[in-house]
Structure 1
Amino acid sequence: MGDTEKTETVTGRSARGSSRRKPKKSQLPYAIVLIVLVGALSWFLDQRDNGTFWLLLTGLAFGYILQRSRFCFTASMRDPYLTGSTTVTRAVLVAFAITTIGFTAIKYGYFINGLPIPGMSYVVPISFATIAGAILFGIGMVIAGGCASGTLMRFGEGFQMQFLSLIFFIFGSLWGAHDFGWWKYHFISKGKAIFLPDYFGWLGAVVLQLIIIFLLYVAAEKYQEAKSNH
């Protein structure tokens, strides 16, 4: 068989294969109906508990942004090893830099006015539980294919794997909350809480953290360039 006949045969098969494919059905009507139902439900709940509508609206906005940007903390740690891309990694670092400045400004505003600094309950001791939890959570989110935000976003997209992940996410959270007292008494309380402004001052803490983020950003960029050259 000549090259021309082979080409015609392959072309014919491709044409027949493409003709068999059914055009994808538009999901826009379902989306409109769902938005209307969610809006009606949020309005109903808002009548009983003021503020529910805006909370739901904020959640939908964040979900849309996550879905369109494919922003995921898991991808920021996984992609450099799997694909060599650090695009999401650098995006996360930029987000860290922005939130560092924003949250420090808020906390410092309370501090200079002699008010209780918000969020100090999250400044917890560093202990063995921190290392163990980080390793277990890192392994779990890579296997599941998403962290908390990524799991919720992909669950909304209809991924069955994320539905299973969400069930165990809830189960693990409830189990962890049940045993948290034991962990706190035996491990967490044995560590030391570190609040950077106590050691470097407010300005020094911000500068130090931004320098670390910048160095990680440069390292991520160099890493991707090295991978792309191979």
Structure 2
Amino acid sequence: MEEVIKSTIIRKRSQAVPRKNQTAHQIAALVIVVGGAVLLARGGAIFSIIWFLGIGLGLVLQKSRFCFTASLRDPILTGSTTLTRATIIAFAVATVGFAALQFSTLLKGGHLIGFVAPVGIHIALGSMLFGIGMVISGGCASGTLMRMGEGFVMQWISLIGFIGGSVLGAIQYGWWAVHFFRTSHAIYLPNVFGWAGAFFGQLALLAALYVVATWWEYRKLN
């Protein structure tokens, strides 16, 4: 009797779950995308381009399940470092592109691209609070926006927290600027290590982190 019950359960689990017809939803989404692009084009073609870029990035995030929270959480909880290594590669690509923009601008006599913020205890405090918050909520900014579109109610609550924190931060910015920002020093790596040292040093550090992440995931297989 038990064998019959087990075989029945296995057979039911193996049966494919029929998928619902999503054609109507797909057509509605396409109409919204095209309609939004047409409306935005009235203000300039650049707005439509940004619109499509945003949608494309959203699709990439949704399909790849890319999330900064998961890249830091998964190595500890599951041992997987797939997203961790993807994040490191993204940092490396951004390092090359941003350094090229900065260096070319300075060669032309322009101003430094980007904002070099002061480093102090406020960075450590803010990072700790943000890290705790994103683990509890289950997502960072990109992961929260992506999961909102998938219907996760918890992420809508997280967005409210993002907005509330941003408002409080804007209100209290003056106090933080007086007590922390102005008393902290801004560190620009090319000024400390030179352009070559800063650029190749950062790439070397990212490469080392990539090796460690790979070892962490496959250490049990050796």
TM-score past 0.5 threshold: yes
SS at match of 1:187: helix
- Determine the C-alpha separation between the residues in 1 that align with 2:191 and 2:130: 29
Task: Indicate which of 165, 176, 179 corresponds to 1:186.
Answer: 179
2 CA distance for matches of 1:157 and 1:85? 23
Q: Structure 2: how far apart are the matches of 1:202 and 1:51?
A: 34
Asked if the contact 1:128/1:188 (under 8 Å) is kept, the reply is no
Displacement after TM superposition at 1:63 (Å): 0.4
1:204-229 deviations in whole A, cap 9, x for unaligned? Answer: 11011011111111111111122x34
> Counterpart of 2:205?
212
Provide closer, same or farther for how the CA distance between residues 174 and 28 of structure 1 changes in structure 2, counting only shifts above 3 A: farther
Q: Which amino acid aligns with 1:26?
A: N
Q: CA deviation at 1:22?
A: 7.0
The letter of the residue matching 1:167 is I
Secondary structure of 2:172's aligned partner: helix
Task: Tell me what 2:161 maps to.
Answer: 168
The separation in 2 between residues aligned to 1:65 and 1:43, in whole angstroms, is: 23
User: How far is the alpha carbon of 1:23 from its aligned partner?
Assistant: 3.0
For 1:192, the aligned partner's letter is H
Residue type at the aligned position of 2:202? Q
Question: Whole-Å Cα distance in 1 between the matches of residues 96 and 169 of structure 2?
Answer: 32
**1:92-171 pair list within 5 angstroms:** 92-119=87-114, 121=115, 123-171=116-164
How many residues in Structure 1 have an aligned counterpart in Structure 2? 222
Unaligned runs of 5+ in 1: none
Match of 2:4 among 5, 8, 13: 8
Deviation at 1:172, TM superposition (A): 1.1
Q: What CA RMSD, in Å, does the superposition of the two structures yield over aligned residues?
A: 2.0
User: Larger deviation: 135-144 or 45-54?
Assistant: 45-54
The alpha-carbon distance between structure 1 residues 18 and 204, as it changes in their structure 2 partners (threshold 3 A), is closer
Moved more, 97-106 or 168-177: 168-177
Question: Alpha-carbon deviation of 1:82?
Answer: 0.2
Q: Is residue 2:49 matched to residue 1:54?
A: yes
Counterparts of 1:22 and 1:93 in 2: how far apart (Å)?
A: 37
Counterpart secondary structure, 1:114:
coil
- For the residues of structure 1 that align with 2:195 and 2:91, how far apart are their CA atoms? 17
CA distance in 1, matches of 2:97, 2:17: 50
By how many angstroms is 1:51 displaced? 2.5
Change (3 A) 1:93 1:12: closer
Whether the 8 Å contact between 1:74 and 1:146 is mirrored in structure 2 is yes
Q: 1:18 to 1:51 in 2, by over 3 A?
A: same
Q: Which amino acid aligns with 2:164?
A: F
Percent identity for Structure 1 against Structure 2: 44
Superposition deviation, residue 50 in structure 1? 4.8
Displacement after TM superposition at 1:155 (Å): 0.6
Matched with 1:84 is 79
Letter in 2 for 1:133: G
1:65 is paired with a residue whose SS is: helix
Amino acid in the other structure paired with 1:24:
R
Q: Which has the larger radius of gyration?
A: 1
> Residues of 2 paired with 1:180 and 1:157: CA distance?
34
Aligned to 1:190, the other structure's residue is in SS state: coil
1:34 is aligned to 29
User: Which one-letter code corresponds to 1:180 in the other structure?
Assistant: Y
Sort the Cα spacing of 1:201 and 1:18 in 2 relative to 1 into closer, same or farther, 3 A. Answer: closer
Counterpart of 2:190 in structure 1 is 197
